[in-house]
Structure 1
Amino acid sequence: MVSYVLLGPFYGFEDSDQIEEKPSDLKVMSYNAWGFNKNGWIKKPGIGDSIVEFITTQNPDIVCVQEHNRIRHRQLTQYAYRSETPYSEPRTIQAIFSKYPIVNNGSLNLPGTINNIIYADIALNNDTVRVYNVHLQSFSIVPSADNFSDGEKSERTYHRLVDTFSKQLEQAKIFEEHLRKSPYVNILCGDFNNTQFSNVYKIVKGNLQDSFLESGSGFGRTYDLWKLPLRIDYILADPDFEVISHQNFDVKLSDHYPVMATLRLKPSHE
């Protein structure tokens, strides 16, 4: 109990009473794929193909990719349906891949940024589920001791951080308003570029369930900063879903680690 109070949402405790998965359950993955390493940030050949192989092996029903590479959809052949950031938008590319039909899609067109939120309405058996793919404002810098050792550089870094947090809050409120008008049950996947202790997270989460808090274990690391196990990538689900399981993957193919959740619509909703 003491450990739970101290660690709270920073650490997930494994539930000994795990629920058995059913074929009808929905497996959802969120992954910031860093462009499938198209710019060669990871100095190792075949990273993009390894990401495709990882997704194919895990075989989720729905995949939300942040920082997508459009040419890779040709390799994800198990997904008959996809929605991507429109070509006309000068933004980082996001994609939603689905084994189920996408009947509608859209973009929130976040102002003054290359980041964005897209969504897809997916026909799931006798229901429709709205899936959001969220990529909130990036810091555009990697905070390090060097950024704070020099007075002038430290001030510039501080102002950039303040500007980033301000934009994230604005984006979170835009999302909150859009979600409020959604006519369907909702699933949210994405890279918030902020932790579960932030106001940004609280606004976006609202009354949604955090799959890690419901069924995850350990620190839930999705990003490394100064060797700290930060959790900035999430899968959130409407209360009409039961969170059956949550997985964090220790797969170093991007600057982020992928997450996957298994969800089940509750009988009261079906």
Structure 2
Amino acid sequence: MSFNAWGFNKNGWIKKPGVGDSIIEFIKEKDPDIICIQEHNRIRYKQLAQYPYRSETPYSVPRTIQAIFSKYPIVGNGSLDLPGTINNIIYADIVYNQDTVRIYNTHLQSFSIIPSTDNFSDGEKSERTYKRLVSTFSKQLEQAEFFREHIKKSPHTNLVCGDFNNTQFSNVYKIVKGDLQDTFLEEGSGFGRTYDLWKIPLRIDYILADQDFEVLSHQNFDERLSDHYPVMATLRLNSHE
């Protein structure tokens, strides 16, 4: 599963009580073997005791917090120090039977723009918005290339999860994806919405898998527990057929 949990609503952006606990209950109900959380809240790990192994963005890195929780042993991990940003990519090497799989949890540059007609109709605000969009796209491309260089050196079979903050039609997605399988394109259905922008359904959260995996299923969820919607896929390593 991959889920941008928006800090488990610690800032109260969703105006109803108990949202963070509802996220925990949702994860427990769906019970994925591995979950990648973007915009994590460190104190929540105690509520996810079904996962004996976890890796998080290091305390020493002043960035948004990503976490990987696993039912399988984690034998190695790391954090990619993306330059000039608060965004972050982490990875964990997980032992599954006799294989080691590297899981990347990615959170690429956010746009940080509050959608409003004013931002695009007012001349001065529109110009600032446009410059911010251009800057964000440029930073995302830089991060995508940074990631691509890292994964090329990975000694393991790879899974890439996360919030790319861009659609499947973008160069950012194409660079990160490379020759990986997109589980939604393999086994998903419908729009695959993971985020709403002005009520327009966008797919900006992904699970990508090496060709060594067979994609058995992909599911998008409608639970409104964050500004993103979670996704989950079932995969089988071809070596375990």
Do both share a fold (TM > 0.5)? yes
Residues 46-99 of structure 1, C-alpha deviations (whole Å, 9 max, x = no match): 000000000000000000000000000000010000000011111010000000
Question: Given the alignment, which residue of 14, 21, 27 partners 1:55?
Answer: 27
Query: Are 2:151 and 1:151 aligned?
Result: no
Once residues 124 and 55 of structure 1 are traced to their aligned partners in structure 2, the CA distance between those partners, rounded to angstroms, is 21
Counterpart residue number, 2:199: 227
Query: Are 2:142 and 1:170 aligned?
Result: yes
* Matched ranges for 1:59-70 at <5 A: 59-70=31-42
Counterpart residue number, 2:211: 239
Residues 153-193 of structure 1, C-alpha deviations (whole Å, 9 max, x = no match): 10000000000000000000000000100000000000000
Query: What's the offset of the Cα at 1:144?
Result: 2.4
Counterpart residue number, 1:77: 49
Once residues 207 and 54 of structure 2 are traced to their aligned partners in structure 1, the CA distance between those partners, rounded to angstroms, is 19
Q: SS in structure 1 opposite 2:37?
A: strand
Counterpart residue number, 2:177: 205
Instruction: State TM-score, norm by structure 2.
Output: 0.99
* Matched ranges for 1:1-270 at <5 A: 29-267=1-239
Q: Which amino acid aligns with 1:180?
A: K
Once residues 116 and 236 of structure 2 are traced to their aligned partners in structure 1, the CA distance between those partners, rounded to angstroms, is 41
Q: SS in structure 2 opposite 1:114?
A: coil
For structure 1, list consecutive stretches of 5 or more residues without a partner in the other structure: 1-28
Q: SS in structure 2 opposite 1:89?
A: coil
Q: Which amino acid aligns with 1:153?
A: K
Q: Which amino acid aligns with 2:161?
A: C
Query: What's the offset of the Cα at 1:140?
Result: 1.1
Q: SS in structure 2 opposite 1:202?
A: helix
Once residues 146 and 77 of structure 1 are traced to their aligned partners in structure 2, the CA distance between those partners, rounded to angstroms, is 46
Q: Which amino acid aligns with 2:97?
A: N
Query: What's the offset of the Cα at 1:228?
Result: 0.7
Counterpart residue number, 1:13: none
Once residues 114 and 233 of structure 2 are traced to their aligned partners in structure 1, the CA distance between those partners, rounded to angstroms, is 28
Q: Which amino acid aligns with 1:257?
A: Y
Query: What's the offset of the Cα at 1:141?
Result: 1.1
Residues 1-51 of structure 1, C-alpha deviations (whole Å, 9 max, x = no match): xxxxxxxxxxxxxxxxxxxxxxxxxxxx00000000000000100000000
Instruction: State TM-score, norm by structure 1.
Output: 0.88
Q: Which amino acid aligns with 1:38?
A: K
Residues 181-229 of structure 1, C-alpha deviations (whole Å, 9 max, x = no match): 0000000000000000000000000000000000001110000001111
Q: SS in structure 2 opposite 1:204?
A: helix
Q: SS in structure 2 opposite 1:193?
A: coil
RMSD, matched Cα: 0.9
- Kindly, what percent of the aligned residue pairs are identical? 82
Once residues 250 and 162 of structure 1 are traced to their aligned partners in structure 2, the CA distance between those partners, rounded to angstroms, is 31
Once residues 141 and 238 of structure 1 are traced to their aligned partners in structure 2, the CA distance between those partners, rounded to angstroms, is 33
